[in-house]
Amino acid sequence: MFLSINYGARYCFGIFVKPLSEEYGWSRSVISLGATLNMLSYSVCAILIGRIIDRTAPRWIITGGALIASSGFILLNYVKTPLEFYVAYGLLVGMGSSGLGLVVTNASAAKWFISKRGVAIGISTMGISFGTIILTPMAGYIVTAFTWREGFLFLGMLIFVVGVVLSQILMKKTRPEAYGLNPDGVVNEQIGEASEEPLSQYKISYFEMFLDFRFWNIAIAYGLIVLTMITVFVHQVPYAQDNGIDKLAAASSLGVLGIAGFLGQFFFGYLSDRFDDPKYSAILGIVIMIAGMLILLQVKSVPLLYTYTIVYGFGYGSIAPMMILLPADRFGRHVLGSVYGMITFFIGLIGSTGPVLGGLLFDYFDSYQLVWQFNIAFLMTALFIILSLRPSNAATHRKQDTLVTDKWQIDNNGART
């Protein structure tokens, strides 16, 4: 649910591009810079949040994120200048979204699963597409029937209510051992007392991360993939409208993309459990996204637009599961928040250039063709980087995760020390 409201709200951004441009006369690059700043602030905050989530319960992080993000969306009703827009959407919504984002939810979920981690993360990340399916047509209808201001107000109130209430009820503790339980894949008769004390002996320094080429493989490849994804979400709707497709159909195409992504997120999570290395599932997802972008280059009608969204959307469904499963497979679950938070920072640093690059190219050439061609080139580069990703000994990490659980139980039970 947190992923649904968070990413559903952020991925609605393309619906607001033309209305903002028409009311204030801002260029697409000026508006797109807001999405870039949003991604940057999201990514910077992910470093801190990744460290915190390895040590504390997620409910306060999510509550704080919901309060900040909802404030940003509500303040968007009152913006008059690009600077005000950048503060509200780029800074506040970006910071708040980080507290509601994948680093918190997926790092928490991954700590509960070992043998069925792919399916668990696949199901968890389906919330992203579910939010896109539900919120993009709703926001599109509100913007069409009323104004873009009411659309932003609706998103802000939704994030406030759902984010604050559900986080306090459902996200009280960070790992199964805190409830006196074992993670999936660990069978142990001696559970020990429940405790929320952190596993402080299991740490990874930034120096260790940066010396590991696998860290850079994942960060750079998914930075390029996210660059293309954010560019699509920001510019797909105005591109469709520029090609004679009406507002509601153009906005609804994001919902269709979300439906395809919804199916893809489960499929690629499930598929990763069938492989010794989840990178093969990632490779298939990238190939499908490339096929989708090739179709987008030809879009001139609603049927072709929806064909593109189905193909690209299904491949896009691989992104969120793979961004957590690859580092989990390489680095283990107990330092996953720290690793994933730092990877998210570099992904955001690279990915945030996509919206403004797309806006600049459109402003200069008055066409999106070159934008989509760049997307294909970036996806091809990411494909070769993931192909070169060194295999990990997944069995070693599963054994390590089990031994960590055993040690936690020994230390907290006292009977076997």
- The yes-or-no verdict on residue 220 having pLDDT over 70 is yes
- The yes-or-no verdict on residue 11 having pLDDT over 80 is no
Mean of pLDDT values over 193-205 = 49
What is the band of 378 on the pLDDT scale with cuts at 50, 70, 90? very high
pLDDT of 172 reads 59
Place of tokens 């640093």: 349
- Residues with Cβ within 8 Å of residue 82, at least 6 apart in sequence: 26, 30, 33, 34
Question: Pick the residue with more confidence: 11 or 178?
Answer: 11
Dihedral sign, Cα of residue 348, residue 19, residue 159, residue 259 = negative
Alpha carbon distance, N-terminus to C-terminus of the chain: 41
Question: Pick the residue with more confidence: 222 or 12?
Answer: 222
pLDDT of 177 reads 58
pLDDT of 222 reads 94
Mean of pLDDT values over 172-201 = 51
Least confident of 111-125, 190-204, 295-309: 190-204
Place of tokens 């996953």: 336
Q: What percent of the chain has pLDDT over 70?
A: 79
- The yes-or-no verdict on residue 8 having pLDDT over 50 is yes
Homologous superfamily (CATH) of 2-173+204-405 is MFS general substrate transporter like domains (1.20.1250.20)
Question: Pick the residue with more confidence: 203 or 19?
Answer: 19
- Greatest alpha-carbon pair distance for the chain in Å reads 72
Place of tokens 């730092």: 342
150 vs 152: CA distance, rounded Å: 6
Q: Specify the DSSP element, H or E, that contains 44.
A: helix 28-53
Mean of pLDDT values over 221-236 = 90
pLDDT for 250-279, tens place per residue?
Answer: 878 887 888 898 889 889 988 988 888 889
pLDDT of 212 reads 84
Mean of pLDDT values over 146-167 = 86
Least confident of 71-80, 199-208, 245-254, 268-277: 199-208
* Bridge partners, 289 (sequence order): none
Pair of tokens at residue 206: 């930034």
- The yes-or-no verdict on residue 117 having pLDDT over 70 is no
Nearest to residue 397, comparing CAs of 339, 344, 351, 342?
339
Q: What percent of the chain has pLDDT over 90?
A: 23
Task: Report the chain's mean pLDDT, rounded to a whole number.
Answer: 79
Question: Pick the residue with more confidence: 260 or 109?
Answer: 260
314 vs 295: CA distance, rounded Å: 14
Task: Say if CB 298 and CB 376 are below 8 A apart.
Answer: no
172 vs 160: CA distance, rounded Å: 18
Burial readout 371-383 (b: 16 or more C-beta within 10 A, e: otherwise): bbebbbebbeebb
What is the band of 178 on the pLDDT scale with cuts at 50, 70, 90? low
- Residues with Cβ within 8 Å of residue 255, at least 6 apart in sequence: 132, 133, 134, 136, 137
Mean of pLDDT values over 378-406 = 69
pTM to 2 decimal places:
0.71
pLDDT of 114 reads 65
pLDDT of 112 reads 67
Place of tokens 């947190």: 2
pLDDT of 126 reads 75
- The yes-or-no verdict on residue 72 having pLDDT over 80 is yes
Work out the burial of residue 25: count CB atoms within 10 Å of its CB; fewer than 13 is exposed, 13-18 middle, 19 or more buried: exposed
Three-state DSSP state, 184: strand
* Bridge partners, 184 (sequence order): 113
Nearest to residue 53, comparing CAs of 182, 178, 214?
178
What is the band of 36 on the pLDDT scale with cuts at 50, 70, 90? confident
- The yes-or-no verdict on residue 127 having pLDDT over 90 is no
pLDDT of 144 reads 82
Task: Say if CB 223 and CB 101 are below 8 A apart.
Answer: no
- The yes-or-no verdict on residue 239 having pLDDT over 60 is yes
pLDDT of 189 reads 43
259 vs 207: CA distance, rounded Å: 40
DSSP state of 87: I
